[in-house]
Amino acid sequence: MELLLWILAVVLVVAGITALFRRQLLWGIVLIIVGLLVGPGGVSIFT
């Protein structure tokens, strides 16, 4: 499960960075924050 959370967090952060480059500032920031929260190193919402 922890590996799955890491993969999900990485995908969310990469999608957030991509959104920032596409000038979708708010959506990019939201995706990055959610990615950091979901990751096992952050405040995981699944535990």
pLDDT of residue 17: 93
pTM of the model: 0.78
pLDDT in tens, the chain (47 residues): 778 888 888 999 999 999 999 999 999 999 999 888 887 666 655 55
pLDDT of residue 18: 94
* Distances in whole angstroms, Cα of residue 21 to Cα of each of 2, 9, 16, 35, 41: 29, 19, 9, 17, 25
pLDDT of residue 6: 85
pLDDT of residue 44: 57
